[in-house]
Chain A
Amino acid sequence: MDSFHSYYPLPSRLSVSDLCDAIRRGSIKAEDYMASTLDRIRRVEEKVHAFITIVEESTLLERAREIDRRVRDGKGFLGALAGIPIAVKDLICTKGLRTTCGSRILEGYIPTYNATVIERLEEQGAIILGKTNMDEFAMGSSTEFSYFGPTRNPWDLSRVPGGSSGGSAAAVAALEAPMALGSDTGGSIRCPASFCSVVGLKPTYGLVSRFGLIAYANSLEQIGPMTRTVEDCALLFSHMVGRDPLDSTSVEPPKTVFFSKKDDAMDLVGLKVGIPKEFFGEGIQESVAKTVRKALEKLESLGAQCEETTIPSIQYALPAYYIIAMSEASSNLARYDGLRYGLRVPDRGYGWNTIFAENRRLGFGPEVKRRIILGTYALSAGYFDKYYLKAQKIRTILRMEFQRAFKRFDVLAGPSMPILPFKIGEKVGNPLEMYMCDVDTVPANLTGLPALSLPCGFRNGLPVGIQFMAQAFQEGLIFRVAYALEKSLDLREEPRL
């Protein structure tokens, strides 16, 4: 294996699109690439802990060989992602492959079906590498709230990778996987993308089927791609979208969601970029603000016109988000009672309600319990109007304010996260401080708008991400802007592991 590496220097650094071409041409064997990926995992996984479950090595290699056979024989369908390993956040159901949601209550849960997005990607030849670590039920911004222990930030192992899709971000950043799936309910893709210096997209609500995504807050979340480059992100994304008859909230993607490198990508002349001042509001670290402003200057140098604007209701987004998310979660997580699947404590002859309570008491971690209790409270008679309904009103107002902003601007930009990756354990004891991290990401979830986090620099060796938002179904535009900035920033750093 080592000899292989010496003459095949880090194929894991290849972009997905280059890799696809190489495998299809036969210049790189899918099996070799898989072997090098597994080798990399063996070297760094112990330090990073990006995965909860990794598929059997023999299975992975066999799958890769099958792709190679098709390439060699020129027979059989070769999908657009043929032979590319993909790391999948452990709340996307994979048939026959354990899916835990980072929770003890689903520790041994093996889904009987594939999520739609898994079906689509496997059809294109992608190979599921394993299931990545996450905050339990996607509730968290640091991946510390995983029953399976925290994931570490590949750039600084003493720090968090962000969350909740911290495992996926860390796997991509640590070159353990060329691409990954995350899910974003309030920033769960963009936060770890920013902290780990990878590209992460929260798609327009409805573009990617949620069938098979274990729900945290249904009305807010989307599955999204996490990759090392914008081009890879757009490529992976293009094979995820599509109306799914199994998801009533899914929609057929218009052409505007797609991206092609050929769209004279470097030219941003005339692009109007709005900078909501709320994104640079209270609580933002100066180092983050500086790095993002520098990136914005770069954008201007490419011809874009940046202008400060205001979206006042962003100040209410965070509480509205948490009320809606927790309310939906309290109902979504009711099904985990141990009766049909998941953790089942010995029944000891008690009534069903005692057994349910025991399973839930032992199965859920403290953050999940906190959110279930808060959500239950918010939905209770007498409080519903005061909390849930009011939060929905804020949502409507926010949507209108963003609509208004997009009459003047093509895209909105700001920091993805107000802070740099923090130390493991630093915020665990202070939930409110942890919640505050999501201030810049939740508006996209409340409004359903697409948002992408792009690496835009480092401060003290720690990554900073810039966030772009656009109107619904304008992913293509976001990709174009991010691609241009990515090329122009030309960050080539790699974590030293």
Chain B
Amino acid sequence: MAMAKAKKKERMTRVMRRDEEKGKDGEPEVIIGLEVHVQLTNLKTKLFCSCSTDYRGAEPNTHVCPICMGEPGTLPVVNEGAIEDAIMVALALGSSISRRTLFSRKNYFYPDMPKNFQISQYDKAGGVPFATGGSVSIGGGKKVRIRRIQIEEDPGRLVYEGTIDSSPYILVDYNRAGLPLIEIVTEPDMESPKEARMFLQNLRSILEHLGVFDESLQGAMRCDANISIKGGKRVEIKNISSFKDVERALSFEITRQKGLLSRGLRVGMETRHWDDLRRITVSLRVKEEEQDYRYFPEPDLVPITISEGLIAKVKACMPILPSERKRLFIDKYGIPPQTAEVLVGSKALADFFEECIKLKADPLPLANWLTGDLKALLNEMEIEIWESKVTPAHMAELVSLVKDGILSGKMAKEVLKEVVATGRMPRKIVEEKGLRAIASMESLKEIVERVFSENPEAVKDALRQEKAVHFLIGQVMKATKGSADPLMANEAVRRRLQEIASSVSA
């Protein structure tokens, strides 16, 4: 009963949010669905052979064998780790797992596929997807529904000279061919590029928490986006390899398509390629019908029974998920829900936070630093936290320098910039620059005395009107060159004024 109520409430929030984004006639302006391909980076071998998955940086075509090269006569054998990973993902997204799963062949010619078919899963033509249903919440009470989850093999990597439309040849590297992927297909529930990014970010965090995916590996999460704008047909954008690019690519498409529509041109069904160098989409193929992949069940693999026992086994080893972790941050450390949400939006950030806590950092200011200034700085530099020079030791020290009154907030911001840029410890920076907050009331008193003696008129006014008080505080802060805590300066000025007032009345 309670659950039903909660569900109804959730639906209502969603409907309300949708209303805000709807056009004049109630239809959403933009509808976005995603197909996300995630490499199961925790697996050491490929999906159907025993080649190493550690292909990054390797010489092209060295992580290959007759099986993943699709040589005549070879057969695939399923990596059982992929099944367990997929069960874990399905459980985490609340999807229902098919008790009997099988693989299908997706047939099409392309140079990146050694067999010219991809072993995948499918929900039609005698096939069964690995799991269906489930959702990922993207904040503000909105959820993006999952249509299906399936296991499939990664194709090889095509390397162009320059851009796809001008390259005189294609180079193919099959090191990636046969890597284990899961494909997560959403319902078209997103209504803005930002929502798409939020979805990917939260999905990424879930997969990170499950330990099946390492976000630090280049190209380990890629997606194709389907976007339709009111008045146009569905356009698919392929080759998006980061979630920052998803927002860019979709924004580009919205602008492009709206431009077409506003000039009275039509937006037909089309597949486009995201060129991440030029940050534009280019047309791959225009067609009115869906490509016919001629799916049929893969005869070389036997159907796999997913037993309750296996699901229970996987369930028992499930690591903590972002949603649970958020609750923990709120309950244990008193972090406000919105801040906690940002923290768990990236496993690296949430881990970072907990590492700082281990170093005795004060949770609340720490959380604010991480989700505020630090995040802003990293965004500006377009790097992730693990790519930066900042460590938990840096942040713990910075927070404690502020807490001990050695640094004012303003000074700490400057120090943080320095930390991010150089990786030096905050205390070192403070010492070298001779930075020191006017931390004690004693030292502040001297400055207050000086300011008061330099501004006798203002002191007189201040005894009567608030405006002059602020002037004096400002002067004190100016005299300390910002190294005083504004609150402390405020208190010192008022205390001195009170002393004067009481001595006068006495």
Indicate whether A403 reaches chain B with its CB closer than 8 angstroms: no
> Is A248 touching B300 in the complex (CB atoms < 8 A)?
yes
> Is A335 touching B296 in the complex (CB atoms < 8 A)?
no
Per the bound structure, the CA–CA distance linking A235 and B77 in Å amounts to: 29
User: 17 interchain pairs (CB within 8 A)?
Assistant: A111-B71, A113-B71, A211-B74, A215-B72, A215-B300, A245-B77, A331-B117, A334-B116, A335-B72, A335-B116, A336-B72, A340-B70, A353-B109, A379-B294, A381-B294, A384-B125, A389-B125
Return B159 CB to nearest CB of chain A, in Å: 13
* A339 CB contact (under 8 Å) in B172, B299, B302: B172
Indicate whether A341 reaches chain B with its CB closer than 8 angstroms: yes
Indicate whether A343 reaches chain B with its CB closer than 8 angstroms: no
Indicate whether B69 reaches chain A with its CB closer than 8 angstroms: yes
> Is A248 touching B75 in the complex (CB atoms < 8 A)?
yes
> Is A341 touching B71 in the complex (CB atoms < 8 A)?
yes
* B116 CB contact (under 8 Å) in A213, A215, A337: A337
With A335-B116, A392-B126 known as contacts, the answer to whether A211 contacts B111 (CB < 8 A) is no
How many residue pairs, one in A and one in B, have C-beta atoms under 8 Å apart?
108
Q: Name B166-184 residues within 8 Å CB distance of A.
A: 170, 172
With A112-B66, A218-B300, A248-B300 known as contacts, the answer to whether A331 contacts B294 (CB < 8 A) is yes
Per the bound structure, the CA–CA distance linking A376 and B296 in Å amounts to: 11
> Is B72 touching A93 in the complex (CB atoms < 8 A)?
yes
> Is B109 touching A337 in the complex (CB atoms < 8 A)?
yes
* B292 CB contact (under 8 Å) in A113, A210, A247, A381: A381
- Determine the chain A residues whose CB is within 8 A of the CB of B172 once the complex forms: 339
With A328-B299, A335-B114, A392-B126 known as contacts, the answer to whether A248 contacts B70 (CB < 8 A) is no
Indicate whether B115 reaches chain A with its CB closer than 8 angstroms: yes
With A334-B109, A335-B116, A356-B109 known as contacts, the answer to whether A389 contacts B299 (CB < 8 A) is no
- Determine the chain A residues whose CB is within 8 A of the CB of B114 once the complex forms: 335, 340
Return B359 CB to nearest CB of chain A, in Å: 49
Indicate whether B376 reaches chain A with its CB closer than 8 angstroms: no
Closest 8 CB pairs of A and B: A334-B116, A379-B294, A219-B299, A218-B299, A214-B72, A93-B73, A212-B73, A214-B73
Pick from B105, B115, B172, B300 the residue with the most CB of A within 10 Å. B300
Indicate whether A458 reaches chain B with its CB closer than 8 angstroms: no
Per the bound structure, the CA–CA distance linking A33 and B146 in Å amounts to: 67
Pick from A92, A210, A330, A335 the residue with the most CB of B within 10 Å. A335
Indicate whether A227 reaches chain B with its CB closer than 8 angstroms: no
Size of B's binding interface in residues, CB under 8 A: 31
Return A35 CB to nearest CB of chain B, in Å: 31
- Determine the chain A residues whose CB is within 8 A of the CB of B241 once the complex forms: none
Return B18 CB to nearest CB of chain A, in Å: 33
Indicate whether B368 reaches chain A with its CB closer than 8 angstroms: no
> Is B296 touching A111 in the complex (CB atoms < 8 A)?
no
Per the bound structure, the CA–CA distance linking A219 and B297 in Å amounts to: 10
Q: What 1/0 flags go to A329-355 for Cβ under 8 Å of B?
A: 011001111011100000000001100
Per the bound structure, the CA–CA distance linking A428 and B300 in Å amounts to: 31
> Is B296 touching A388 in the complex (CB atoms < 8 A)?
yes
- Determine the chain A residues whose CB is within 8 A of the CB of B137 once the complex forms: none
Per the bound structure, the CA–CA distance linking A210 and B115 in Å amounts to: 17
* B71 CB contact (under 8 Å) in A112, A213, A331: A112
Q: What 1/0 flags go to B291-310 for Cβ under 8 Å of A?
A: 01011100111100000000
Indicate whether B78 reaches chain A with its CB closer than 8 angstroms: yes
Return A406 CB to nearest CB of chain B, in Å: 23
Q: Name A349-395 residues within 8 Å CB distance of B.
A: 352-353, 356, 376, 379-381, 384, 388-389, 392
> Is B105 touching A99 in the complex (CB atoms < 8 A)?
no
Indicate whether A246 reaches chain B with its CB closer than 8 angstroms: yes
Per the bound structure, the CA–CA distance linking A213 and B299 in Å amounts to: 14
Q: Name B280-322 residues within 8 Å CB distance of A.
A: 292, 294-296, 299-302
> Is A249 touching B107 in the complex (CB atoms < 8 A)?
no
> Is A352 touching B69 in the complex (CB atoms < 8 A)?
no
Indicate whether A20 reaches chain B with its CB closer than 8 angstroms: no
Per the bound structure, the CA–CA distance linking A331 and B117 in Å amounts to: 7
Indicate whether B211 reaches chain A with its CB closer than 8 angstroms: no
- Determine the chain A residues whose CB is within 8 A of the CB of B115 once the complex forms: 334-335
- Determine the chain B residues whose CB is within 8 A of the CB of A213 once the complex forms: 73
* B296 CB contact (under 8 Å) in A99, A245, A334, A384: A384
Indicate whether B76 reaches chain A with its CB closer than 8 angstroms: yes
Indicate whether A417 reaches chain B with its CB closer than 8 angstroms: no
> Is A376 touching B294 in the complex (CB atoms < 8 A)?
yes
Indicate whether A437 reaches chain B with its CB closer than 8 angstroms: no
Per the bound structure, the CA–CA distance linking A389 and B78 in Å amounts to: 25
Indicate whether A115 reaches chain B with its CB closer than 8 angstroms: yes
Return A324 CB to nearest CB of chain B, in Å: 9
> Is A211 touching B73 in the complex (CB atoms < 8 A)?
yes
- Determine the chain B residues whose CB is within 8 A of the CB of A142 once the complex forms: none
Chain B residue nearest to A339 (CB atoms) is B111
Indicate whether A174 reaches chain B with its CB closer than 8 angstroms: no
Pick from A92, A112, A210, A379 the residue with the most CB of B within 10 Å. A379
Per the bound structure, the CA–CA distance linking A215 and B76 in Å amounts to: 13
Q: Name A101-121 residues within 8 Å CB distance of B.
A: 101, 106, 109, 111-113, 115
Q: Name B87-130 residues within 8 Å CB distance of A.
A: 105, 107, 109, 111, 114-117, 125-126
Indicate whether A165 reaches chain B with its CB closer than 8 angstroms: no
Chain B residue nearest to A105 (CB atoms) is B72
- Determine the chain A residues whose CB is within 8 A of the CB of B69 once the complex forms: 340
Chain A residue nearest to B170 (CB atoms) is A352
Indicate whether A327 reaches chain B with its CB closer than 8 angstroms: yes
* A248 CB contact (under 8 Å) in B72, B74, B77: B77
> Is A113 touching B66 in the complex (CB atoms < 8 A)?
yes
- Determine the chain B residues whose CB is within 8 A of the CB of A334 once the complex forms: 107, 109, 115-117
Chain A residue nearest to B69 (CB atoms) is A340
- Determine the chain B residues whose CB is within 8 A of the CB of A341 once the complex forms: 71-72
- Determine the chain A residues whose CB is within 8 A of the CB of B126 once the complex forms: 388-389, 392
Q: Name A64-113 residues within 8 Å CB distance of B.
A: 91-93, 99, 101, 106, 109, 111-113
- Determine the chain A residues whose CB is within 8 A of the CB of B109 once the complex forms: 334, 337, 353, 356
> Is B296 touching A331 in the complex (CB atoms < 8 A)?
yes
Per the bound structure, the CA–CA distance linking A352 and B77 in Å amounts to: 29
- Determine the chain B residues whose CB is within 8 A of the CB of A212 once the complex forms: 73-74
Q: Name B439-494 residues within 8 Å CB distance of A.
A: none
Chain A residue nearest to B294 (CB atoms) is A379
> Is A111 touching B75 in the complex (CB atoms < 8 A)?
no
* B75 CB contact (under 8 Å) in A99, A246, A379: A246
